[in-house]
Structure 1
Amino acid sequence: MPSASTTAPGRMPVVVWVLAAAAFLMGTTEFVIAGLLPDMAGDLDVSTSRTGLMITIFAIGMIIGGPAMALATLRLPQRMTVILSLAVFAAGHVVEAASSSFTVILVARFVTALATGAFYAVGFVLATAAAGPERSTRAVGMIMGGLTLSNVIGVPIGSFAGQLIGWRGPFWALAVLAALAAAVIGRFLPAAEQGARVSIRAEIRALRNTRLWLALTAAVMIMGGVLAAYTYISPLLTDRAGIPADAVPLVLVAYGFGAVAGTAIGGRIGDRHPMATTITGAAATALALLLLMPLSTSAAPTVILVALMAMTGFTLNPIVTSLAVRFAGDAPTLTAALTTSAYETGVAAGSALAGVALGSSLGLTGPALVGAVFAALTLLPLIALAVRGTRADSRIVAQQASTDREHELVPQNGRAQR
């Protein structure tokens, strides 16, 4: 059976590509609802605003459920956790596609979000382990690239398919593809020894690392900055920049490609120059958002700044995620889940404050100002990380957890198994 980590020099293991494809599916399901809201509302006989709760409940499930599921599945082999999370993800979509009850669909969305949180918690760890320390940020970048690419390809295709065959069609397709991804991961990620497993106590003890919280804070702030402006970008484009409504999707595609490019850039150079890349990216994002306020009266500079904002902002994501996993030492699973929660928290906080700013005297430029403030504040934890250093990891968790392991590891055939 092929190994998940055995691959030609310079190439990523197959399992990393499959994990990235699964992330693409999960990103699609989170955001495709926006394009299907009218059809879903009519079919389920609920208001459009109430149907939007499907997006809210998914975010809540990710914020709360990610860390909870990381701890709940800690005693399971990582391979089994990934396969089970994809299986639950697929089952949740079957329920959503087959049900006519809005309440049942909401519950299924929440369960699907829990499975998604569990997937990310373990998926990032598996990807970095399979790729090795010298390519860990690139591996994280590939998974986040799959998530980002879902906004460019998955969401538009899902919305278009929903218009042609009904909103249930994309949910059936996501269910089938998730089941296929689970089967492929089972094929290319054999059940092998993964070394000593860290206890739940050690996972929680890893949270004492202040550098970890600096990385998580940076994740919250940069995502809050970008999504503050992006959430209300449509009225800015049409009412201020004078872009026709039917051309707005093209601008959003430019944003998506900028996000994909930024994720790729961060994944490529983040291992070599993590702090220089992140600090430059945060400063450039803040500048792009500030310039968006006076220059958004014209179409061309607005489109350029929107794409630039996405590219510079998303450059940070694979780097701060990789740093957070690194700072957790031998207890990275809970940390990976908290990183996902941090991004979702940034989305919620940025979009909420941007909505308040939009209704204030700032008007259409309010969200951009909120985003600029968030992006500028990202510099504070990043500079603190640069001062403290990112490479000299003392692996405190490994030292402190040694006693826990002696009591919790069960020898099998003379070796510790996970």
Structure 2
Amino acid sequence: MKIIDEQTPQSAQEAHASKRIHVRRKQLPRQTEITPGRRTIVMLAMALGAFAIGTTEFVSMGLLPLIAADFGISEDHASTLIAIYALGVVVGAPLIAAFTGKLPRRRLILLLIAFLVVGNLLSVLAPNYAVLMAARFIAGLPHGAYFSVANLSAASMSPPGQRGRAMAFVGMGLAVATVIGVPAAQALGSALGWHAAYVLVVLLGATTATLLFFLMPHMTEMPSTDISTEFKAFKNSQVWLTVIMGVVGFGGMFSVYTYISWTMTEVAGLSSSLIWAVLMVYGIGMTVGNTFGGWLADRNLEFGIIFALGMLVVALLCFYFFSSSAILGSIFFGIVAFFGSTLVPSLQLRLVQVAGDAQTLASALNQSALNIANASGAAIGGIVVGAGLGYSAPAVAGAGLAAAACLVWGVTQWDKKRLARRA
């Protein structure tokens, strides 16, 4: 399939210009013509974009005191920045995926990175809190669609049987961001002002855009779609069940993550100055779990999902019972992150497999599910803590959510057999 963007020339001069443009475009190969080495470099560039997104998503939490002091508002008021970014993700992921189906994937991923850079540049330059809120919303818009296009592009470039690992490779950028990117941006923000953290993201995004512009091939094996095709995902029961499974299952992990600082300091007696070490254990668990999840998805997708969910139940319960120990609590917190991250590439690949021609929208919905789980998990944890059950109790609620996700998995298997009988 040949991608031609130019209009038919109307004069010899226009024809000559068009020819020059065409020759320049031909220097970029089709995805079927690239070497394995170049494919790896392109995937690394896409992972760098995921690293930038992960950094900008999570670093805002640690910057809230600085932002609140700068604009003279309370930290509770400043915390709306987290919600407004998540809203951008939830809104942007399905809409961008649905309305950009006809755009070549290479061009789309460059536009999404440009949106990320613009949103973070506006965050740096924001003269007041209202503009900063708008900037964070803009920064969140490309989040889900970027992961959708990057994951599908990585899978499309990879040989059959390696697509789960390809998606995990791209997602690794998000996991590594929790270990390296967020602490680095946090340190910059603390030393030079909160603006510096977003400057780092702008530089990461610009570097990603440059690498992809020069190295990403034309994705000729990824056919264009239209809005009616993408919206068919909303009529697919398997897509809905997989999204629900993600919302419920990930909610358990985020219910613990939200209150981890209080749990470790108030319950385990850990010094607040050492919370960074607990969060680093979490980041390492995410990184290793993401890699393992990609391998497991390629080996046995359905088993990988139910295995991760079942072990997440066990890990959350263990965290609850051992949270009074700083060492054991940190270890089980890392194990929670491991099995939570194991789910990500598996659910992503499952959405792609069950979505038919609506893969872009279905894949983007996984990111919406993660952000809904983030908000709902935090809310459920808040209800439990507010009821006076203690800071460890969200882990029990989280285990209940993961167990409910296991039941949803059972429904997906029943529904899959039902659809097969109808076919």
TM-score, scaled relative to structure 1 = 0.89
1:59 to 65, 80, 86: 86
Residue identity matched to 1:209:
N
Residue 392 of structure 2 aligns to a residue in which SS?
helix
Aligned to 1:379: 406
- How far the C-alpha of 1:30 sits from its partner, in A, is 0.7
Query: What aligned pairs does 1:99-138 form with structure 2 within 5 A after superposition?
Result: 99-138=126-165
Deviations, residues 307-331 of structure 1 (Å, cap 9, x unaligned):
1111112111110111101111222
1:144 to 147, 150, 171: 171
- How far the C-alpha of 1:120 sits from its partner, in A, is 2.1
1:258 to 258, 266, 285: 285
Q: Distance in 1 between matches of 2:272 and 2:36?
A: 48
- How far the C-alpha of 1:299 sits from its partner, in A, is 2.2
Residue identity matched to 2:96:
M
Say yes or no: does 1:273 pair with 2:294. Answer: no
Residue identity matched to 2:193:
G
2:121 to 80, 83, 94: 94
In structure 1, the gaps of 5 or more residues are 397-418
- How far the C-alpha of 1:61 sits from its partner, in A, is 0.9
Aligned pairs, number: 394
1:318 to 333, 338, 345: 345
Residue identity matched to 1:309:
V
Residue identity matched to 1:187:
F
Deviations, residues 96-139 of structure 1 (Å, cap 9, x unaligned):
11122111111111111112233223222212111233211111
1:294 to 321, 327, 341: 321
Say yes or no: does 1:350 pair with 2:392. Answer: no
Given the superposition, is the C-alpha separation of residues 59 and 235 from structure 1 closer, same or farther in structure 2, using an over 3 Å criterion? Answer: same
Aligned to 1:362: 389
Aligned to 2:332: 305
2:246 to 205, 214, 219: 219
Residue 163 of structure 1 aligns to a residue in which SS?
helix
- How far the C-alpha of 1:388 sits from its partner, in A, is 5.7
1:189 to 194, 216, 220: 216
Q: Distance in 2 between matches of 1:284 and 1:40?
A: 38
Q: Distance in 2 between matches of 1:135 and 1:16?
A: 13
Residue 193 of structure 1 aligns to a residue in which SS?
coil
State percent identity of aligned pairs.
Answer: 32
Residue identity matched to 1:142:
F
Paired residues of 2:165 and 2:298 also in contact (CA < 8 A): yes
Say yes or no: does 1:29 pair with 2:56. Answer: yes
Residue identity matched to 2:52:
L
Residue identity matched to 1:36:
L
Given the superposition, is the C-alpha separation of residues 270 and 237 from structure 1 closer, same or farther in structure 2, using an over 3 Å criterion? Answer: same
- How far the C-alpha of 1:345 sits from its partner, in A, is 0.8
Deviations, residues 185-234 of structure 1 (Å, cap 9, x unaligned):
11112345346422211211233332222221221122101011111011
**Alignment RMSD, CA only?**
2.2
Residue 275 of structure 2 aligns to a residue in which SS?
helix
Say yes or no: does 1:330 pair with 2:371. Answer: no
TM-score, scaled relative to structure 2 = 0.88
Given the superposition, is the C-alpha separation of residues 346 and 330 from structure 1 closer, same or farther in structure 2, using an over 3 Å criterion? Answer: same
Q: Distance in 2 between matches of 1:11 and 1:85?
A: 22
Aligned to 1:405: none
Residue 75 of structure 1 aligns to a residue in which SS?
coil
Paired residues of 1:25 and 1:178 also in contact (CA < 8 A): yes
Paired residues of 2:31 and 2:219 also in contact (CA < 8 A): no
Residue 201 of structure 2 aligns to a residue in which SS?
helix
